Amino acid sequence: MRKIRKAVFPIGGLGTRFLPATKSMPKEMLPVVDRPLIQYAVDEAREAGIEQFIFVTSRGKSLIEDHFDHAFELEEAMARRGKSLAALDGTRPSPGDIAIVRQQEPLGLGHAVWCARRLIGDEPFAVLLPDDLMVGEPGCLKQMVDAYEELGGNLICTEEVAASDTHKYGIVTPGAQAGAITEVKGLVEKPAPDVAPSRLAVIGRYILQPEVMNVLGSQEEGAGGEIQLTDALARMIGQQPFHGVTFAGKRYDCGDKGGFVTATLALALDRPDIAPAVRAFLAAA
C-alpha cells in the first residue's frame, strides 16, 4: 500500500457568496480569527503526512501563492524588532512543496481534480476542500489516513445531515458499518430528500486512487452542468474497496456566511488570548 504523499486543493472558485469581500481577494484567504481558510487545510494535510501540496487555481488567486512564500521585508522587520516569527509557521514551505495548476474553465470539482492528473501520476492522493473547516484531534485527514492504512482503496469523509439538506450533498448508499467506517455501496449527487438513499453526506475530504483520473477524463456533465467528482467515484464502486469515514470532530461550512461566522466565534472561544473578550461581548449582546 503506497503512502499518501500528495494532496490536491481545488481553489479555483469565484466565491460569489462573499462578495464584495471576494471581489479582489480569494475566498480561501478569508481569515477565521487570524489564519486564512487555506492555511487551516494545509496545516491539516501536513499533520497527516502530506509532502506535496497541489493548488488548482484560477485567475485572481495569486494572493494564495504569496501567502505561502517568504516575505523577506516582513521577516527582516520583525527580526530587527525582536519579534518572534512563530506566527508565520506553516506559511513558508520548502521549495517544491507547493505546485500550482490552473483550472482554465469553471467546470466543477471533478474537473478541478482532473487538472492535477500529471502531478499526481500513479500515486494515491488526498483532496481537501478548504470551505470545510474541520476541527478535531487528530485532524480529519489524519483520521482518514489511519483508516486508509487498514482498508486501502478509496475513502470519503462523511457526516450525517438533516433530511432536508440531502439536495446539497453527494449522498452515500451505505453497506456494512463498523464504528466510524461505512462501506459505500453507491453514491448519488444531490438527491431530493424523498429519493435519498440515506442521510450520510460526502463532505470535503477524500483519499483516492489514481485510476479516478481516467474516469474523470471521460466523465460527462452532471448536476449543475458540471463534471461532478461524486459521479466519477460512483463509477468506481465495485472495482476497488470504497469506504466512508465519519469524522470525529466538528465541521464548519465556511462556504456559507453563517457557517463562517460560527467558525470564527467557535475558534475564538477556544483561544485563551481572546476568549475572555469574546465571551464578554456575547454576554452583553
> What CATH number is associated with residue 255?
3.90.550.10
Inform me whether the pLDDT recorded for 92 exceeds 90: no
Q: Count up the domains in the chain and report the number.
A: 1
Q: Does 158 score more than 90 pLDDT?
A: yes
Q: Is residue 212 part of a domain?
A: yes
- 81: domain range? 6-284
Indicate whether 141 belongs to any domain.
yes
Q: Which three cell numbers stand for residue 29?
A: 484567504
Tell whether 1 is covered by a domain.
no
Does 12 map to a domain?
yes
Q: In this predicted structure, what is the pLDDT of residue 222?
A: 60
pLDDT of residue 217: 84
Interval 9-31 mean pLDDT: 91
On whether residue 261 sits in a domain, the answer given is yes
Confidence of residue 10 (pLDDT cuts 50, 70, 90): very high
- Evaluate whether residue 215 is within a structural domain: yes
Q: Which three cell numbers stand for residue 65?
A: 501563492
- Lowest mean pLDDT across 35-44, 73-82, 130-139: 73-82
Band of the pLDDT at 172, cuts 50, 70, 90? very high
Q: How far apart are CA 32 and CA 257, in angstroms?
A: 12
pTM for this structure?
0.92
Cell numbers given for 265? 466565534
d(C-alpha 126, C-alpha 144), whole Å: 10
What is the rounded average pLDDT of the residues 30-38?
A: 95
Provide the pLDDT for residue 122. 94
Average pLDDT of 241-251? 95
pLDDT band of residue 224 (cuts 50, 70, 90) is: low
Q: Is residue 75 part of a domain?
A: yes
C-alpha cell at 220: 460527462
d(CA 10, CA 112): 6
pLDDT band at 113 (very low <50, low <70, confident <90, very high): very high
> What would you report as the CA-atom Rg of the chain, rounded to the nearest whole angstrom?
19
Hey, how many other C-beta atoms are within 10 angstroms of the C-beta on 20? 7
Q: Under a CB-based contact definition with an 8 Å cutoff, are residues 210 and 121 in contact?
A: yes
Q: What is the mean pLDDT of residues 183-197?
A: 91
Give DSSP secondary structure letters for 145-167. HHHHHHH-SEEEEEEE--GGGGG
pLDDT for 199 beyond 90: yes
Q: Is residue 264 part of a domain?
A: yes
Burial 201-233 (b: 16+ CB within 10 A, else e): bbbbbbbbbeebbebbeebeebeeebbbbbbbb
Average pLDDT over residues 82-110: 85
Q: Which are the contacts of 69, defined by CB distance < 8 A and separation ≥ 6? A: 92
